[in-house]
Structure 1
Amino acid sequence: MAKKKKAAAAAGAVTAARSNPYVQRVIEDDDLRDNVRVAFEAARDAYDRLSNGKAPAKVISDDKKFHKDLQVAAEALKDAGSSLRAGPKRKKRGGFGRKLLLLAIAGGLAVALSADLRSKILDTLFGAEEEFDYTSTTAPSATPTAGSAA
C-alpha cells in the first residue's frame, strides 16, 4: 500500500512539474539551461576551493580562483534570472520568405537602375537586336516648291 501512495505522489509531482511554466522554460530554453549549469559548476568549484583544508577566512580573502568562480556563478545566475523574467523567446521562423522577398526587391532595383543589365535581360529573353544602317537607294525627288510656277 505504501508503494502505491509513493507512486501516486511521484505522479502528482511529475504532473505539477509539467504544468509549471518555469520548469517548461528550463526544458525548452537552451541558453537558460546553460546558464544554470555554468552557475552550478562554478559554485561547486568555489565550494571545493573553500573546503580543501585551508582556513576558510584565508581562502575568502586571498584565493583569486575562488573569487573568479564566485564571479562566474553570480553572472550566470544573473543571466538565468533575467532570462526567466524576460519570458519565453519567440521561435524564429525559417526566414526563407523574407530572404526571397529581399532578393526580389534587390533584383528589381538592379534592373531598374542599370541600363546595361536591362539590355542583357531583354537580349536574353527576346534575342539580340539587329542593328542596321539605313541608306536610301533612291535620290530625293525634286518636289515643287510653293513659290515656283509649273
Structure 2
Amino acid sequence: MAKKKQKAAVAAGAVEAARQNPYVQRVIEDDDLRDNVRVAFEAARDAYERLSHGKAPTKILTDDKKFHKDLHTAAEALKDAGSSLREGPKKKKRKGGLGRKLLVLTIAGGLAIALSADLRSKVLDALFGAEEEFDYTSTTAPASAPSGATAA
C-alpha cells in the first residue's frame, strides 16, 4: 500500500514538473509548433512506409521522388519546430492597442454621421462650405396662350 502512495506522489511530482516546464507550455499553447511536429511525423511515417514497401532500399533512396519529397517535408517541419522551440515562449499580445482604438473610433464616427442628420450637415458644411440658399426667380414673362386657341 505504501508503494502505491509513493508511486502516486512521484507521478504527481512529474506532472507538476511538466506543467512548469516552459517547453511543455510552449507545445500546449503554440498551434504552429504542434502542426509542424504533426506534419514532420506524418511525412516521416510516409517515407518509412515507402522504404519498407518491398522494393530494394537502394532503388528507393536513389530514384523515388515521393520518398525524397516526404523526407524534405519532414526535415523542413522539424527545422521549423526546432527554431520555434529555441525562440522560447511567445509573449502574449496586449489587447486594446492604438490600432484597435482607432478602429473603434472610426466605426463610431461613421455610425454617428450616418445616423444623425444634424451632424451630417455640419460635417458636410465643414468639408465643402455652407450651402447657399437659392431662390429661383424667372426674368421672363409666362407664356401666353396662342391667339387662335380657346381655353376649355
Compute the TM-score of the two structures, normalised by the length of structure 1. 0.63
Code of the aligned partner of 1:85? R
Segments of 5+ residues of structure 2 without an aligned counterpart are 110-119, 135-152
Cα distance 1:94–1:48, how it changes in 2: closer, same or farther (>3 A)? same
How far apart, in 2, do the equivalents of 1:13 and 1:103 lie?
47
Segments of 5+ residues of structure 1 without an aligned counterpart are 108-117, 133-150
How far apart, in 1, do the equivalents of 2:59 and 2:22 lie?
42
Deviations along 1:20-46, one digit per CA (max 9) or x if unpaired, are 111110000000110011001111111
How much is the aligned-residue C-alpha RMSD, in angstroms?
3.2
Code of the aligned partner of 2:72? Q
Corresponding pairs, count = 119
Q: The residue matched to 1:90 in structure 2 has which SS?
A: coil
Equivalent pair of 2:22/2:89 in contact (CA under 8 Å): no
Alignment correspondent of 2:68: 67
How far apart, in 2, do the equivalents of 1:42 and 1:122 lie?
62
Alignment correspondent of 2:123: 121
Identity %: 78
Are 2:81 and 1:80 aligned? Answer: yes
Cα distance 1:61–1:130, how it changes in 2: closer, same or farther (>3 A)? closer
Q: The residue matched to 2:54 in structure 1 has which SS?
A: coil
